[in-house]
Protein backbone atom coordinates (compact mmCIF):
# COMPACT_ATOMS: atom_id res chain seq x y z
CA UNK A 1 0.00 0.00 0.00
CA UNK A 2 1.24 3.50 -0.88
CA UNK A 3 2.03 5.87 1.97
CA UNK A 4 -0.46 8.66 1.21
CA UNK A 5 0.24 12.20 2.36
CA UNK A 6 -1.53 15.50 1.89
CA UNK A 7 1.28 16.53 -0.46
CA UNK A 8 0.73 13.44 -2.64
CA UNK A 9 -2.99 14.07 -2.74
CA UNK A 10 -2.39 17.72 -3.60
CA UNK A 11 -0.01 16.71 -6.39
CA UNK A 12 -2.62 14.40 -7.92
CA UNK A 13 -5.39 16.99 -7.55
CA UNK A 14 -3.34 19.50 -9.52
CA UNK A 15 -3.21 17.02 -12.41
CA UNK A 16 -7.00 16.86 -12.70
CA UNK A 17 -9.01 18.99 -15.10
CA UNK A 18 -11.01 21.71 -13.28
CA UNK A 19 -14.38 20.03 -13.97
CA UNK A 20 -13.29 16.96 -11.96
CA UNK A 21 -12.57 18.98 -8.80
CA UNK A 22 -16.24 19.15 -7.84
CA UNK A 23 -16.41 15.34 -7.93
CA UNK A 24 -13.38 15.13 -5.64
CA UNK A 25 -14.87 17.73 -3.32
CA UNK A 26 -18.16 15.82 -3.12
CA UNK A 27 -16.34 12.60 -2.31
CA UNK A 28 -14.13 14.18 0.36
CA UNK A 29 -17.20 15.86 1.85
CA UNK A 30 -18.97 12.51 1.92
CA UNK A 31 -16.05 10.91 3.75
CA UNK A 32 -15.83 13.75 6.27
CA UNK A 33 -19.58 13.70 6.94
CA UNK A 34 -19.56 9.94 7.36
CA UNK A 35 -16.73 10.19 9.87
CA UNK A 36 -18.53 12.87 11.85
CA UNK A 37 -21.81 10.91 11.97
CA UNK A 38 -23.62 13.42 9.77
CA UNK A 39 -23.75 11.05 6.79
CA UNK A 40 -27.36 9.87 7.25
CA UNK A 41 -28.59 13.43 7.66
CA UNK A 42 -26.61 14.60 4.63
CA UNK A 43 -27.86 11.66 2.56
CA UNK A 44 -31.48 12.47 3.42
CA UNK A 45 -30.89 16.11 2.53
CA UNK A 46 -29.24 15.16 -0.77
CA UNK A 47 -32.10 12.81 -1.62
CA UNK A 48 -34.62 15.57 -0.91
CA UNK A 49 -32.72 18.04 -3.10
CA UNK A 50 -32.47 15.48 -5.91
CA UNK A 51 -36.20 14.82 -5.66
CA UNK A 52 -36.99 18.53 -5.84
CA UNK A 53 -34.56 19.09 -8.73
CA UNK A 54 -36.07 16.27 -10.79
CA UNK A 55 -39.68 17.33 -10.23
CA UNK A 56 -39.82 19.79 -13.16
CA UNK A 57 -38.24 17.25 -15.52
CA UNK A 58 -40.59 14.48 -14.44
CA UNK A 59 -43.58 16.82 -14.64
CA UNK A 60 -43.13 16.92 -18.42
CA UNK A 61 -43.92 13.20 -18.42
CA UNK A 62 -46.59 13.33 -15.74
CA UNK A 63 -48.55 16.32 -17.05
CA UNK A 64 -49.81 14.75 -20.27
CA UNK A 65 -53.37 13.86 -21.23
CA UNK A 66 -52.39 10.20 -21.76
CA UNK A 67 -50.98 10.05 -18.25
CA UNK A 68 -54.12 11.65 -16.77
CA UNK A 69 -56.29 9.14 -18.64
CA UNK A 70 -54.26 6.23 -17.28
CA UNK A 71 -54.97 7.37 -13.72
CA UNK A 72 -58.64 8.27 -14.19
CA UNK A 73 -59.94 4.90 -12.99
CA UNK A 74 -57.90 4.76 -9.79
Whether residue 49 is found in the same domain as residue 71? yes
State how far the Cα of 18 lies from the Cα of 24, in Å rounded to an integer.
10
- The angle at the Cα of 40, spanning 9 to 52, to the nearest 5 degrees, equals 100
- Mind listing the pLDDT tens digit for each residue in 15-64? 999 889 899 888 888 888 777 766 566 667 777 778 778 887 778 877 88
- Mind listing the pLDDT tens digit for each residue in 51-70? 778 887 778 877 888 888 88
Whether residue 31 is found in the same domain as residue 42? no
What is the span of the domain harbouring residue 16?
Answer: 1-37
State how far the Cα of 61 lies from the Cα of 73, in Å rounded to an integer.
19
Q: What 3-state class would DSSP assign to 38?
A: coil
Whether residue 22 is found in the same domain as residue 33? yes
Amino acid sequence: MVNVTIDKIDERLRQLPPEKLSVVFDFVSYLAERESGQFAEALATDAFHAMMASESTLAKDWDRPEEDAAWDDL
